[in-house]
Chains A and B, each alone.
Chain A
Amino acid sequence: MSKILSLLLASAALTAVVGVPAWSAMHLPQQGAAVTPMTAVLGSTDTAELLVLVDDDDDEDEDADGNVKRGTSNDDDDAEECDDDDRSCGAAAATQAAPAGTVAPPQNGLFDTGTPQVQVK
């Protein structure tokens, strides 16, 4: 008898754990805010008790001061790129600018005929 009782208690607890979030998700507020309330189940209207999604920030390019940074996830969306810096990635290399020395500098009126020379120390 006690076995049955414990089984019932365990299944009830499990149902509560799985069911409460599911029930709550079905009762999202109409304004479409990124807030998932428990009020539908618990009946509370106190906003301090609302559960809030941990990350709804779509400004991932910006730091705390609102300044733009390089190297965020948006940069990685570009499927045309290669991961190495040697521009030898087959078809993707065609989408990069031609490296110095492989073609003449652009005809923008600034350059003469010489080939650019570069070194990093």
Chain B
Amino acid sequence: MSAGNMRLTLKVWRQSNTNTQGGFENYNLDGVSPDMSFLEMFDILNEQLIEENKEPVAFDHDCREGICGMCSMFINGQPHGPLKGVTTCQLHMRSFQDGDTITVEPWRAGAFPVIKDLVVDRDGFDRIISAGGFVSVNTGNAQDANNLPIAKEDADDAFSAAACIGCGACVAACKNASAMLFVSAKISQLALLPQGQAERSIRAEKMVAQMDAEGFGNCTNTHACSAECPKEISFENIARMNREYLGAKVSSKAL
């Protein structure tokens, strides 16, 4: 890594726990390399804070390869920062200018309460998946490959929907904090494949009911979710979810 020469002002949201009021703190950071990822820049900030005997900034991260969906951060008014189709860990400091002031906030949604600083509780997503985002299969030997023929177009669409890493950027970007892109990707992924057919109706009904119970907002069709999604999940999934849900309501056996 080349020696850093960028000088930044960071305006970071600090909040000690869910029940306390948070606020912004300003930090000056010198010697930032343009080759650093945004999270590495935060590592430097935290080292500096620890040396000063201050509490380091809590933030979520895991794989740092853009595939796990752990990192979040609302950077200068956009989830995962200004680049299209990347997570915060794949955002590099070359996307910023020397002398910039960067504002970093946690995802803001009632259904994503702040745990500490930039870490939010995304368990709501797990509860939505538990409500129906699965296929029930008997255990036993795996089937032969290609036993179930799947049209290439369906496989492609299902795969694109399955690319969702559940990071919550869609909720963060949506003016209504709606989780519809996430939920629709999960519903679509299974509705498009033969394995998902058995529980297709009940899945749509239960996942939408859980999404509403979590307190996420409603969709205004602004497409902000899709535009900010690091995996570029298509807005088409939301229309498919609307069809799946309304179709399930008028035809499913559940009363």
Asked if A pairs with B, the answer is no
Q: Which B residues are closer than 8 A to A by beta carbons? A: none
